[in-house]
Structure formats: C-alpha cells, structure tokens
Structure 1
Amino acid sequence: MSRLFRCCVLWGLQIVAVGLIGTAPVAAQADEGDEPPVGEKAAAKNQKTLDRESFGQLIQQIRALLADKKFDEVGKLVAAKAKEFPEDRNVQLLAASVTQSVAFGILNDPTKRKEANKYFHASAKYARQLKKIVKGNIPPAWTEQYATILYNDACSFALDGDKDRAIKVLKEAVDAGFREYNVIKDDADFQSLRDDPKYRDRFQKLVDQVKAKSKAGGPRIRT
C-alpha cells in the first residue's frame, strides 16, 4: 500500500480516535427505561463500559503519548483497555483507530516493519470485536475506516509472507466495502500474490471486484 494512502487514512482515523467518539457513541444505546429481552438481562450485568469522564481522560493520555511518539506505550495502554472493556463499542473503536496510528508511527522507521505489522493485526482484531458488538451493523460513518483497517491487515500478512491469511483478509476487506481501485491495482505489498500462480487469479478477482465498486460512485478516500 502506498505510504501516501496510509497517511490519508491515518488523518481520518486520528479524527475519529481523538475528536469524535468521546462525544458520540458508535451506535445508539438503548433508551433509558427500555426493558432488555429476558435472555439478555444476565449478559447485560456482566458487560462493563468505560464512563464518559474516564473515556475523556483516556483520550487525553493517548494524545500526550502520541505527541511524545511513545508508540509502544500507547499500544499497551489501548490493548489493556480493550481487554478490560471487551463489550464497550467506543473503547474498541478507539483501540482500532489509535492502534493504526501506532502502526503508522512505527513505520517511520523502515527497520521496524514487522513490529508495525503486529499493530496492524491488533487494530483489525479490535475492529472485528466492534463489529461483533454491533452485531455486524457497522455505522455508515465508519464503514470506510473499517474496510481500510482490514485492507492494512491484509497488506501486513502479505508482507509477513502469510499468503493464505493475506488473501482471506483481503477478501474480507473487499466484502466490507473497500473500493480504492487505484490503490490495490498497483500495491507493491501484494506483489507476492501476483507472482504466485496459486493466488494470482484469486487476487485478480478481488481487484476486479474493487474496480467494479469504484465505478459505482459514492465517497472514496482520496490519495
């Protein structure tokens, strides 16, 4: 994936991570007084969410660490919060978005690509957990970011040499709505898939699907 494209995505993700989700939940919560279905009452008791004040403090802490380029500390912090609050949609969205920022920050040092890839994988894990929480109904405002996080994850697997997972996750990204044909068609991260007869046709099929989607119109991330 081109670094220019990654930087554009990073800009959008940082806005979500440190500017928006502290004031608006990812998806509407149940109205006060709504009675949950009987089968969900017990599960609801075991769900923990981070209160708004603590969430705001977490964002400020992340901002300070990112400003000081303490990427590993940020990664560990959001990983701990994501583990502590696995059913909190805002925490999982924050973790997915901020972990992308961490990965991009680490990529400024080309010798740390493998370390950065671990964070791309972690970001995708948090994004999938968010999808699970909202029962597959990813908010429209976050659809492009979600698909892009999966795309980055696929790139990382390809660069790791794991072609099976790369093609699987790339399909997941395309199915989720990834539509950047000008990016995927020449993306050097997937050269190993183009060169391998086992994956070449499957990869090209996904490229063709993205091309068809890109012609359908609608919002796109600019490169």
Structure 2
Amino acid sequence: MGPVSIVVITLNEEKRVGRLLNDLSKQTHQDFEVIVVDSNSEDNTCQVASAFEASLPKLTVHQMATRGVSLGRNTGAAMAQYERILFLDADVRLAPTFLANAISQLEEKQLEVAGVYMGADALPLAHKIGYGLFNLGLFITQYTFPTAVGACIFSTKRAHNEIGGFDLEITLCEDCDYVKRASKTWRFRFLNLTFGFDPRRLDQEGIFKMGATYLKANVRRFFFGEMRNNEMEYKFGHYKEQ
C-alpha cells in the first residue's frame, strides 16, 4: 500500500481537530503525512494540532493569512510529498482501518479520484435518515453528474494539478465541481466506506433545510453551471460551537 498525503483544512477548530488527529495516529496503515492548513484561526487550533507532533511524526501545521476552503486545499496539495492525497475537514472522524481499506479499494479499482459516504452509526434516527438520503444521491449521481462531500475526498497530485485544483471562485459545491471536472478524464467512484461527519451542520441548519439547499444548488449547477457570482451565499466556518 502506497503512502498518502493527508490535507486537513481548519478554521477555529480547536475542539475538534484533536479528535481527527488522534484518529489518524491510530490508523493501521501508518505510511502517511499530515498537513494541517489553517485559515488564520482566532482560537488555539494550530497549537492543538502542533501538540500531535510526537504521535504524528510527519505532521506539518501551516497557517495562511487568507481564509478559504479551496485555497486551503490547494495550498495543502502544493505542499504534499506523496502522489496520493486525501482531503479532510477538521471535524471528520475515521475508524482505525479507514486508510488501509480505502487504499486497498483505490488500488484495486485503479481510481485517481474517489468520494466517501457519510456515516451516521452513533447519531439519532433523524440524522440517519438524512445522511442516508444524501448518500443515496451521491451513489446515483456518481455515474452521470458526480457530486461529493468535500470533507473526505481522495485525489492524486497528477489529477489535482491537471484540473487546476479546487476553483477559488466557487464558495458552494466547490467539491462537486472538483470531482465533476476530474471525472472527465478519470473514472470517478465512491468507495465502499464511510467517515464520521459532525452533525452540528445539520443541527444548526436543520436537516431538511440543508438538504434542500444542496439539492437546489446541484439543480442549478446541472442546468446553469457552477455558481461563481455568489448566487447562493455560503460562509466557510460559520457553524457555532455545540
């Protein structure tokens, strides 16, 4: 199994980034580096991340002066040492065998770019239903109009560079645009895996409201193309602590 460069984007995630880094330290596959790209947090995110240098020897914490989801991912990809890249959000949780299983599937299916489904094992029934419907949409669209959850996307330096990385002008569905453009050159599929996804987004936006927002966004994308003029406003890191 080959090495992986794991790019984690953060913005005021001092209460969550440690959980993810702890999950990474316990992976059964340990051939990876971690690059935390921080969007100039106002809390102790960078300090919390740096405290994992002992358990994650190949850890880099980079703080940007400018904030941005796509900028953070592109910055991390440019710093990556390895060909295989995994983009993660700071509030993701991973099982100990996640990397090993993911790399095995990527190599077996010969995928350059791949998505991962959202898991809801420990969440209430309403969340399970919401995540299940969202995952169903991801499964169906992967064959014709690929969409993905930016919180957990696999790529490669080659694919990332050839498509020009994440589009800095897109603030909503930049992850879907990324995999859609990549799928024009490489076969895109979802791995038979799930990752833990913090429910604060659904809790604060509301399950149906958030689902409707993303459905509306992707319908707009399908008929009118990507949204580069703030047609549907979305602010990075706007979720409150819970």
Q: Indicate the TM-score class for this superposition, using the shorter chain for normalisation.
A: under 0.3
**Which entry has the higher C-alpha Rg, 1 or 2?**
1
- TM-score norm. by structure 1 comes to 0.27
Q: Which structure dedicates a bigger proportion of its chain to helix? A: 1
- TM-score norm. by structure 2 comes to 0.25
Q: Which structure dedicates a bigger proportion of its chain to strand? A: 2
